[in-house]
């Protein structure tokens, strides 16, 4: 079995690559000339150059494959040119799925996000069936991923086998950029979190997310969504757990949400609009934090057999990897 993986050099994608190799697949990874290959340099894979905006390159990349794992996404909470997110996430998804139809790919696993899942906002975990619309999406990244998921559903109706996975907040090794969740862990390790706000996330080991992708290909249904998550935790609980794992002090000051939003907006105006550089405080991220991002992954556990590695183990992996790879100023792991 040969599978093409887009986004295979990234955090989730590189773990999908490793999982597929362990399962005995031949793996081909779509890369660009500028792709950073650190995460896959030790893997026995085939690489092929292509661009999600160039459908001919995608047809060539898919030729001879039976499976497609479309993990790639432009994941940014701020961009000088937001249209780039739509070009990659929406247009790119349409291109790769059309190429998959043209090349008669048997099964596609599309990586969406829980950001495209409905969230009531009162702390009740969202499910695959929680009502949601484009108007509920905060920021260009979420809007682009919501629209991309609609493209996946459209292709499923056209007859392409597309199953959709919606990871929550994965943590673990090889968070190379890092992701916003990884940056929170890293900022804690580097003493850059003096205070916190009242918000929450659903955490999951990134290796379980990768396994969930494969399980979705094996057991999932076309046109169905599966939340790949594990434990709902407040930000304070996450920071307390990091403190327990590392022996480092946990911030004790809770910032009221209106103050955090005002600070983020001022930073956005000064840095993002006037200076045209990435703000230090992500305005869209703070807006999202108004709702606790809690989700129910029981469907994926029940129908796919999604593993549930304890989040303590996942956070410890993340701390260890960041420390060993030079992201942390000094080693802080407990001996």
CATH number of the domain where residue 80 is located: 3.40.50.720
CB 175 within 8 A of CB 121: no
148 assigned to some structural domain: yes
99 found inside a domain: yes
**300 assigned to some structural domain:** yes
8 and 32 Cβ atoms separated by less than 8 Å: no
Q: Is the pLDDT of residue 319 over 70?
A: yes
Count of domains observed in the chain: 1
φ/ψ (deg, to 5) at 141: -60, -50
Report d(CA 233, CA 199) in Å as an integer.
Answer: 9
- Residue 198, helix vs strand vs coil: coil
Looking at every residue in the chain, the average pLDDT score rounds to 91
pLDDT at 333 over 50: no
Give the separation between CA 263 and CA 275, rounded to whole angstroms.
Answer: 16
The answer to whether the Cα torsion of 5, 112, 115, 119 is positive or negative is negative
- Strand 200-205 and strand 231-234: pairing? antiparallel
Q: Which of 266, 328, 255 lies closest to 289 in space, CA to CA? A: 255
Does residue 178 contact residue 11 with C-beta atoms inside 8 Å?
A: yes
List the domain range (segments joined by +) for residue 21.
Answer: 2-171+203-231+293-309
**What integer pLDDT is reported at residue 259 of this predicted model?**
74
Residue 286 pLDDT > 80, yes or no? no
Other Cβ atoms less than 10 A from the Cβ of 250: the count is 16
DSSP letter assigned to residue 280: S
User: pLDDT digits over 53-72, tens only?
Assistant: 999 999 999 999 999 999 99
What does the alpha-carbon distance between residue 47 and residue 13 come to, in Å, rounded to a whole number? 14
Q: What is the CA radius of gyration of the chain?
A: 19
Q: Work out the average pLDDT over 32-39.
A: 92
Nearest to 43 by CA among 30, 66, 27, 32: 27
* Residue 246, in any domain of the structure: no
Q: Which residue is listed with tokens 């129910």? A: 296
Closest CA to 319 of 225, 239, 232: 239
In this model, does residue 284 exceed pLDDT 80? no
Q: What pLDDT does 335 receive?
A: 36
Max Cα–Cα distance, the chain, nearest Å: 56
Is there a domain that residue 286 lies in? no
Give the percent of the chain with pLDDT over 70. Answer: 90
pLDDT value of residue 75: 79
Is residue 56 exposed (0-12), middle (13-18) or buried (19+ Cβ within 10 Å)?
Answer: exposed
- Residue 178 located in a structural domain: no
The 10s digit of each residue's pLDDT in 13-35 is 999 999 999 999 999 999 998 89
Does 186 fall in a domain? Answer: no
Over range 249-261, report the average pLDDT.
Answer: 82
| Contact between 193 and 263 (Cβ < 8 Å) | no
pLDDT of the residue at 77: 65
Nearest to 155 by CA among 220, 99, 72: 99
| Burial class of 155 by CB neighbour count within 10 A (0 to 12, 13 to 18, 19+) | buried
pLDDT-derived band at 287 (thresholds 50, 70, 90) equals low
The reply to whether 263 falls in a domain is no
Question: 301, 295, 304, 309: which is closest to 126 by C-alpha?
Answer: 295
The predicted structure's pLDDT at residue 334:
43
What are 198-241's pLDDT values in tens digits? 899 999 999 999 999 999 999 999 999 999 999 999 999 999 99
Q: Which helix (H) or strand (E) covers residue 67, if one does?
A: strand 67-70
pLDDT band at 183 (very low <50, low <70, confident <90, very high): very high
Least confident of 117-131, 177-191, 255-269: 255-269
Phi, psi of 310 (to 5 degrees): -55, 135
């Amino acid at each position: 079995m040969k599978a093409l993986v887009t986004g295979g050099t990234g955090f989730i994608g590189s773990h999908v690559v490793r999982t597929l190799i362990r399962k005995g697949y031949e793996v081909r990874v779509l890369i660009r000339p500028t792709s950073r290959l650190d995460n896959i340099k030790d893997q026995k894979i085939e690489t092929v150059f292509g661009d999600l905006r160039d459908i001919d390159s995608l047809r060539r990349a898919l030729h001879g494959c039976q499976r497609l794992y479309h993990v790639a996404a432009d994941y940014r909470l701020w961009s000088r040119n937001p249209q780039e997110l739509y070009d990659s996430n929406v247009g790119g998804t349409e291109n790769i799925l059309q190429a998959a139809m043209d090349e008669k790919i048997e099964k596609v696993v599309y990586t969406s996000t829980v950001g495209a899942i409905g969230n009531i906002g009162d702390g009740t975990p969202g499910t695959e069936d929680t009502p949601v619309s484009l108007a509920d999406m905060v920021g260009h990244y979420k809007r682009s991923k919501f629209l991309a998921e609609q493209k996946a559903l459209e292709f499923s109706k056209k007859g392409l086998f597309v199953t959709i996975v919606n990871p929550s907040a994965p943590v673990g090794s090889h968070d190379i950029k890092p992701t916003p969740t990884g940056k929170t862990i890293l900022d804690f390790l580097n003493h850059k979190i003096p205070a916190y706000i009242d918000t929450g996330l659903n955490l999951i080991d990134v290796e379980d997310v990768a396994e969930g992708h494969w399980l979705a290909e094996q057991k999932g249904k076309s046109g169905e969504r599966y939340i790949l998550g594990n434990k709902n935790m407040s930000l304070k609980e996450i920071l307390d757990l990091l403190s327990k794992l590392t022996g480092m002090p946990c911030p004790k000051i809770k910032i009221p949400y209106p103050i955090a939003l005002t600070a983020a907006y001022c930073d956005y105006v000064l840095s993002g609009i006037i200076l045209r550089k990435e703000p230090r405080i992500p305005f869209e991220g703070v807006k999202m934090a108004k709702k606790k991002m809690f989700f129910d992954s029981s469907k994926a556990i029940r129908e796919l057999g999604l593993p549930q590695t304890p989040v303590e183990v996942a956070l410890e992996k993340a701390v260890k990897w960041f420390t060993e790879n030079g992201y942390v100023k000094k080693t802080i792991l407990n001996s």
